[in-house]
Homo-oligomer: A and B are copies of this chain.
Amino acid sequence: MGKITIKDVAKAANVSFTTVSRALSGNPEISKETRERILKISEEMGYTTNYIARSMIKKKTELIGLIVPSIDNPFMSELAYYVEVTARRFGYNLILCNSYPDLSQELKAMQLMVGHQVDGVVIIPQKRSSCGNLMKYASLLPTVYLSENLRDMDASYISVDNHKGSMLGMEYLYRLGHRKIMYFGCRVGSITHQLRAEGYQQACRNLGIEPNIVYFESSASSIEFGYEMACSELSHNSGFTAIFASTDSNAIGLMQAARKLNIRIPEDISLLGFDNIRLSSLPQIDLTTVAQPKEEMAVRAVKMLLHKIENGTSDNSFEIIEPSLIERGSCRNLPSPVI
């Protein structure tokens, strides 16, 4: 499997290897005839550029690193997809690393990216503290965090406007006539959840609604956990007409609990999610939700990173993306508002 190098081509074409390099890189300082002749020969010999050798000199690998907790997660694989496509559109390729299960693996992943000389890194952090954890390496190369709000941290990031998303959701429920709205599943320790809960509380104040938040002590959102929490929560329903779940996963878990308890959605109780994961659009789920525009977030993250790479700047910046409401079938219009 000895690969063909520029020298082999040079020998076959009876020119110096510099000339071959020029021919291949589209350098104008070369006659058309030789260029075409060389191109033809290298094609015949099955030559392929060794990017690694090129990177040594150019000090650019045209590679960007993507670190995600677990690619095996619909939300993240969707983000990853758009990151890959966007990066490729701009001539970059992706090294992927799962940071699961802990901060030490996340650190190793980052170390690896540095070692492979990637031109920059997009990180979907495990949690807020990832930022400090990775700082040592993140300071060595352009880095952009995706999907977590890292305000007050020394980092560039892209995040959805969680606060606004909650207000959007609450206003929607209010318009439908709901006045008794439970907020389900605020995960303590997560800034994302904190912001969403704050948005809920703000909306409650604005709309004159009594806030009621169910907190989670878990470290991750999942359908299963949402189900368990909902089972206990729904069994002593205290007159809520609607539930605003902190994430779609929680909402879907709650749906399952509701079914078990013979509570119909939306007839008995309306349900609103947050995130707009793929599942939510299934007719069998049909969850109305506040969407995180995943494609836009991914595209912006890559563009922000490319900007950093190409301008060699280490200044931090951030972008907060507008959420939007996706109407489906899990919220009911109350004929006369219950006061």
Contacts and interface: CB of A to CB of B under 8 A. Distances in A.
A112 B63 CA distance: 11
A52 B113 CA distance: 11
A49 B115 CA distance: 6
Interface stretch (A79-87, A148-156, A205-213, A267-275): A79-87
Contact of A71 (B50, B70, B84): B84
Contacts of A88: 97-98
Interface stretch (A28-36, A165-173, A189-197, A281-289): A281-289
B93 A50 contact: no
A236 interface: no
Contacts of A283: 256, 259
A95 B98 contact: no
Contact of A116 (B51, B72, B255, B282): B51
A300 B22 CA distance: 43
B93 A112 contact: yes
A96 interface: yes
Interface in A62-111: 63, 66, 70-74, 77-78, 80-82, 84-85, 88, 93-98, 100, 111
A258 to B, nearest CB: 11
Given A1-B314, A61-B52, A252-B282, A116 B98 contact: no
User: How many copies of this kind of chain does the complex include?
Assistant: 2
Given A72-B78, A77-B77, A94 B93 contact: no
Contacts of A98: 81, 84-85, 88
A52 B283 CA distance: 49
Interface in A39-59: 46, 48-53, 55-56
A80 B71 contact: yes
Interface residues of A, number: 57
Contact of A140 (B46, B82, B114, B284): B46
Given A94-B95, A94-B96, A1 B116 contact: no
B93 A116 contact: yes
A7 interface: no
A121 B260 CA distance: 46
Contact of A70 (B53, B81, B96, B312): B81
A117 B56 contact: no
Contact of A53 (B56, B63, B112): B56
A175 interface: no
A279 interface: yes
A256 to B, nearest CB: 5
A141 interface: yes
A37 interface: no
10 contacts: A52-B56, A63-B116, A66-B96, A73-B77, A77-B77, A81-B98, A84-B98, A94-B95, A252-B284, A284-B285
Interface of A: 1, 3, 46, 48-53, 55-56, 61, 63, 66, 70-74, 77-78, 80-82, 84-85, 88, 93-98, 100, 111-112, 114-117, 136-137, 140-141, 223, 252, 255-256, 259, 278-279, 282-285, 312, 314
